[in-house]
Amino acid sequence: MERTQFFSQQAGRTIDVPRHASARFGIGDVVRHRMFDFRGVIFDIDPVFANSEEWYQSIPEHIRPDREQPYYHLLAENEESSYVAYVSQQNLLADAEGGPVEHPNVAELFEQFANGRYKMRRSLTH
């Protein structure tokens, strides 16, 4: 399988990635976690796990997801708070029917919520 590499600031190292990794969700999609009670809007995607080894090892082994799948950065929320989450593809479900996300940073990255997803601010696209 053909592979490429990128440097991950979060992991502090170069990550080896399959050249044709495919993500099920896109930037601006609203999703919810399959097991935990939170939802959010995707603002970045890593083609494979690209966080620290310490973060990965902190996930209980019986629910630890595979590294070789897309991981999503979310502006997340639950009943108590808003935060940034890093979630594997296998643990996300589409949640556009849940309406907009109330995270306080949504307006910094996205314009309006329409047709079940957010549109990234034009000034942030290239």
The CATH number that applies at residue 65 is 2.30.30.390
Query: Is residue 37, in this structure, part of any structural domain at all?
Result: yes
pLDDT digits (tens, 9 = 90+) for 76-119: 999 999 999 999 999 999 998 889 999 999 999 999 899 889 99
Rounded-to-integer distance, Cα 10 and Cα 2, Å: 24
Q: What is the pLDDT of residue 74?
A: 98
pLDDT level of residue 22 (50, 70, 90 thresholds)? confident
CA 45 to chain CA mean position, Å: 5
Dihedrals φ, ψ of 39, to 5°?
A: -140, 170
Query: Is residue 92, in this structure, part of any structural domain at all?
Result: yes
Domain region containing 89: 22-124
Query: Is residue 36, in this structure, part of any structural domain at all?
Result: yes
pTM to 2 decimal places: 0.83
Let me know: does 100 contact 29? Beta carbons within 8 Å.
no
Query: Is residue 9, in this structure, part of any structural domain at all?
Result: no
pLDDT digits (tens, 9 = 90+) for 45-83: 998 899 999 999 999 999 999 998 999 999 999 999 999
Count of structural domains, the chain: 1
